[in-house]
Structure 1
């Protein structure tokens, strides 16, 4: 299974600290699944009895299907876009094979508004039926991370849906928001996309699960966290303006509301 080119840690808060606690790998899907799946990801960890590690992720606007094994057993879960930062505490040993669907990419498998999954975590069997239980063992019993991803690819190919042009349009617009930091308002996104604000709202509710404003703010806050971790303090006074905020007070309020700390506390490395 070919490793994915994307090795970014964007959205993984304090990612450098986690590198000694777990390994993260990403793999490409097969060609037929590429319109629907961004990549497979795998995590493995093996901590001693006295050690635990809490990882916080400022999630992307994507649906994830995860096959998990830890000290509590095995499970297959579907994760909607979370309402708050995703937090997972690692203890003992475990492994996960995750499937990151493209923004809009899960809709063809489900056929319902993705907004219904906002903040939800449900059993994979509710979507894929009893077969999800056998998938759990088929994937987690594979020899290594690449083999787990290959097995997931084989299983999902049997559920291959028809492509959906609107879902792919939603994916394209989300990617544009992520890569174009000059888009800081829904009105600007409307101009870039050629869609009215109302059309964007309907498209995102059905295919992405969150609003265009949510996506813009999320990517800008991911960028803020990444820059606060990696760049010189001298950028701090200008950061709010560069991310499209009217003033620092509004930026600090948003950052603290989502991440749970002020930007200054986050920069100093205090625990979340």
Structure 2
């Protein structure tokens, strides 16, 4: 009571103000590609140098400031480990949950999202294969181009999304400015890839984004296994057909 009276006399409330709610970090679910188990020791084992192991421990704990300090002190953020794995890929592949702020920070520090594991998986492959809407905004905000291309396969971020049947990601990439005619890994345009896979929703979006039409090829694709009319794909198929007829 005496303490409360003394605080009141000094102009302080007798009770402490409520603490601000702690903001929980957003996580990204990439387990469909890289596995669901938390295997932090395995991540550490992929690197022989202590600097990379320390950097991974900082990433695992979410200590962004210390990660920045280590890079500023000379640590190369894409230091390769076993089979060329980088700290970014080791973090995403083995740590659960994968925190969006840590991924964004690794990218901001210069980590390359197109670097691939021995099995060909990269962060862009993960984005194309999972259906987590939180992943693309993290990548774009960190400066990853919607036209990013994998150096080995030559695939673009957009072609990866189309090949994986990730319609939502393909549409989001187009909204973010991905070029509708940027050739895929085999040199073909995205429109050819989308129509060949029967994804008329993406094909329609590509045409609206300015994709060039090869009339003969497109007419042939339209006649092959058209989808049921009263479906989203069927309505997009009709829209593409109408666009071809009025050009």
- The TM-score with structure 2 as length reference comes to 0.25
Structure (1/2) with the larger strand percentage: 1
Normalising to structure 1: TM-score of the pair?
A: 0.23
Say which structure, 1 or 2, has more relative contact order (CA 8 Å, 6+ apart).
Answer: 1
